[in-house]
A and B are shown apart, each in its own frame.
Chain A
Amino acid sequence: DGGITQSPKYLFRKEGQNVTLSCEQNLNHDAMYWYRQDPGQGLRLIYYSQIVNDFQKGDIAEGYSVSREKKESFPLTVTSAQKNPTAFYLCASSIIIFDEQFFGPGTRLTVL
């Protein structure tokens, strides 16, 4: 059963804490992405990776970090430097960079 998974579905964080959101895909896609979605808004690109051990900043990378040590995995860390982290986070992957993207179910992060 191929697909892209994200965990956890809901995450609560205290101010000042770092948290890591998981994203795994078994679609054998080279490219992976992290987006942030705020209520009533479109998606904004945080980071993307075209290939293992390589990643690029998107439009709103400040306060976030990523790694791409394996093709299947692209975890996102929301650091304490992110001023307003409460949002819905979506991970995606694609065969070709910026072509048809397959999305995970999302993680809703709330800062308490």
Chain B
Amino acid sequence: SQQGEEDPQALSIQEGENATMNCSYKTSINNLQWYRQNSGRGLVHLILIRSNEREKHSGRLRVTLDTSKKSSSLLITASRAADTASYFCATDNTDKLIFGTGTRLQVFP
């Protein structure tokens, strides 16, 4: 069953612009995680935000969590061509981690 769903499915921006991706989920969670995947590679963990946290920063990444709306957003500031990848949210659902279908981000130089 699909727990996290990302929006938009695809996003194209110019270098230097900000990129915002959203994730919505259905049931209550303990934590929400964001991962990045370059084409044909494994996933890389970006950030984990717990249900009692509202915002978290890591370098150029900013993640927010709104448990009342069951949604999270990932903001990448001052994007670079190297940020081109797919980004997935994952929510823990008691006995598993459920991944969304991802947002494909293309950053043009």
Contacts and interface: CB of A to CB of B under 8 A. Distances in A.
Interface of A: 6, 33, 35, 40-45, 48, 56, 58-59, 88, 90, 92, 98-106, 108
B42 A98 contact: no
Contacts of B92: 98
Given A98-B92, A99-B48, A42 B100 contact: yes
A59 B96 contact: yes
A92 to B, nearest CB: 8
Q: Which of B4, B43, B44 has the most CB of A within 10 A?
A: B43
Interface residues of B, number: 22
Nearest to B89: A42
Nearest to B6: A42
B39 to A, nearest CB: 11
